[in-house]
Each structure stands twice: as C-alpha cells, then as structure tokens.
Amino acid sequence: MKHKKIKAAVLAITAIAALGGILYSQFGAKKSYDYADYYVETKPTKNNTSDKEASEKELSLSLLKQTNKDIVGILVFADRVIYEPIVQAPDNDFYVRRNIEKQYANAGIPFISADGNIDSQNVVIYGHSSKWSNIIFTPLMSYIDENYYLKHPTFEFITENETRTYKIFDVMNIDLNNLDDSLEFTQSNWDTSNEFNAFISDSINRGLYKTKESTTSNDKLMTLVTCDTRDNNKRIVVLAKQIDTKP
C-alpha cells in the first residue's frame, strides 16, 4: 500500500506541475480539438438556424469513443461553459499536450488521474486554462467569486451507463511553492473513513469561502484541477460530491 501511495503522489505532482497557463500568440496555438463532427441532434430541427441547431445538438459519447477509446465521459456545466470529453491514460503526461486524435495540441484534453478511474472515491480531473481564451477549464477561475458559485453550484458527468450530478462543496487556491499546502486532494481513495473525514475537514478549512455543504465518508467526490491564470504557481481546485444518478 505504501508503494501504491508513493506512485500516486508522483503521478499527481507531475499532473499538477504540467498545468501551466496557456498563452495564445498572434500565430495561434492549437487548441485541444474542434468537436463539431461529434455532435448529434437530440430532436428534429424546424428552423435551420445556428442558434436552433446548437440548442438541439449534443456531444455523442459513442462517436467520441470511436475516435479514441480513452474517452471515459463528458463533463457538462450550466450553459455549457464547460462541455468537454474526458479521457484517461496509463500516465498523467500523455494528454497534457495531445488532443482526442492523440496529436500535439498545446491545450491538451482534460484527463482523469491515472491512479484512479471514473468509479473511484475521488475522481480527479486535470485540465488546462488560458489567460487569453475561454478554453477547457478556464471557467473554473470564476469560482474564486462566491457569488458565481451560488449561481452555479452543480455540474454533470455523463458516462456510457449513467449521468451523474455533482454539487460543489469547496473551492481552494493551492500554492505549489508552499510546502505546507497539502496535495491530498489528488488522492483517488482513502484507506479509512477517518482519513477521508480528516481530508474533508482540512479542505473546507482551506476553502476560499464556506459553501455550507456537508459531506460524509459515504460520498463519492469529483475534484477538478486547473492553473490559476493570475499566478502560474497556483492551482484552482474545485471539489464536488455526487448527489444524483440517472440512466
């Protein structure tokens, strides 16, 4: 178990360090991917207008998986401010600078930590953000503001078998230069309920504000991690608990 934890810690540190703020030059850096070919209509379209089409189309998980079997789900926030396929590879380096077709892309694609999976006690997802473009996980920066959280407290994760709803219970701003800042949020599992509860208590104490959401050792978590574009040594960490599941 000790060797397993050491390996997990190394994977986590590697992933966190790789999440730097993306800069887009005038020559244009390649984004993760244009998913236009992976949308399907959810109901017949009466008027062929772009707005109408957008509201009646959604990403197809099956089409995405035909291109890349590493796709494990789709992350969906309100108004699709985040609407991204999520992958998982055997290591945390692979998708840092690769897109769905496994070609080079500066912004990469969001990925689940290699030491866990979509059914872990804590599903940890890493993704890039940008100072100049609203890519990937850039919208997570908005959760620094408590008022934004109050208006957007939930999100969904779509898998092959179900759609999970998560409610955010904590938002942290981690300083990688501060050795006292714990990286325990990168763990996918805890050995005991006491260890898990201690983690929850510590995370809430370190939160930017109090959400008043309670969490128990029976909860399944999802943690989203991206760079703080105001300071490249910091990371935004959004912790959420699963509150609903539907087929």
Active site residue ranges: 128, 227
Sequence-distant (≥ 6) Cβ neighbours of residue 135 within 8 angstroms: 22, 31, 32, 107, 128, 129
3-state secondary structure of 118: coil
Task: From 5, 16, 12, select the one nearest 174 (Cα to Cα).
Answer: 16
CB-side exposure of 165: number of CA atoms within 13 Å? 9
Residue type, 32: S
Rounded Cα distance between 136 and 133, Å, is: 9
Are the C-beta atoms of residues 126 and 92 closer than 8 Å to each other?
yes
